Amino acid sequence: MVNRPVAQPDPPYLQIVAEIRRRIEAGELRAGDRVPSTRQVAREWGVAIATATRALTTLGQQGLVQAVPRVGTVVTARQPRPAQPARTSRHRPAQAADQELTKAGIVSAAISIADSEGLPALSMRHIAAELDVATMSLYRHVPSKDDLFLLMADAVLGEADFPEPPPPGWRTQLELVARQQWAIYRRHPWMARLISLTRPLPAPNGIAHTERATRAVNGLGLDPSTMLYVAITLAGYVQTVAVNLETEVEAQQDTGITGDQWMQSQGEALATILASGRFPTLSSIAAQPGPEFRLDLDTLFEFGLQLLLDGLAMLIHSQT
Q: What is the per-residue pLDDT across 3-21, written as a single tens digit (0 to 9) for each?
A: 444 445 667 888 888 889 9
121 and 239, same domain (yes or no): no
- Does a structural domain hold residue 55? yes
The vertex-276 CA angle with 271 and 280, nearest 5°, equals 90
138 and 240, same domain (yes or no): no
**94 or 106: which leads in pLDDT:** 106
pLDDT tens digits for 210-237? 999 999 999 999 999 999 999 999 999 9
**149 or 100: which leads in pLDDT:** 149
Task: Work out the average pLDDT over 157-173.
Answer: 93
Task: Work out the average pLDDT over 62-77.
Answer: 79
Per-residue model confidence (pLDDT) at position 235: 95
Q: Angle, to 10 degrees, between the axis of helix 12-25 and the axis of helix 38-45? A: 110
- Does a structural domain hold residue 236? yes
- Ramachandran region of residue 101, left (φ > 0), alpha (ψ -120 to 50) or beta? beta
Q: State the CATH number of the domain containing residue 298.
A: 1.10.357.10
176 and 315, same domain (yes or no): yes
49 and 124, same domain (yes or no): yes
- Does a structural domain hold residue 302? yes
58 and 123, same domain (yes or no): yes
- Does a structural domain hold residue 174? yes
Q: State the CATH number of the domain containing residue 127.
A: 1.10.10.10
**259 or 16: which leads in pLDDT:** 16
> Distance from CA of residue 289 to its chain's centroid?
37
Question: What percent of the chain stands above pLDDT 90?
Answer: 38
* Residue 255: pLDDT band with limits 50, 70, 90: low
Per-residue model confidence (pLDDT) at position 85: 43
Per-residue model confidence (pLDDT) at position 3: 45
- Does a structural domain hold residue 285? no
Q: Write 294-299 long-range contacts (CB < 8 A, 24+).
A: 295/259, 295/263, 296/259, 296/260, 297/241, 297/242, 297/244, 297/245, 297/248
Split into its structural domains, the chain has a count of 2
> Distance from CA of residue 111 to its chain's centroid?
9
- Does a structural domain hold residue 281? no
* Separation CA 14–CA 29 (nearest Å): 18
Per-residue model confidence (pLDDT) at position 203: 93
Query: Residue 224: how many CB atoms within 10 A of its CB?
Result: 9
Burial of 190 (0-12, 13-18, 19+ CB in 10 A): buried
Mean residue pLDDT across the chain = 83
Q: How many residues does the chain have?
A: 320
> Whose CA is closest to 203, among 159, 138, 143?
159
- Does a structural domain hold residue 313? yes
**175 or 82: which leads in pLDDT:** 175
Q: Which domain holds residue 246?
A: 170-256+290-319
Q: Are 17 and 59 in contact (CB under 8 A)?
A: yes
* Residue 88: pLDDT band with limits 50, 70, 90: very low
2 pLDDT above the threshold of 50: no
- Does a structural domain hold residue 160? no
126 and 210, same domain (yes or no): no
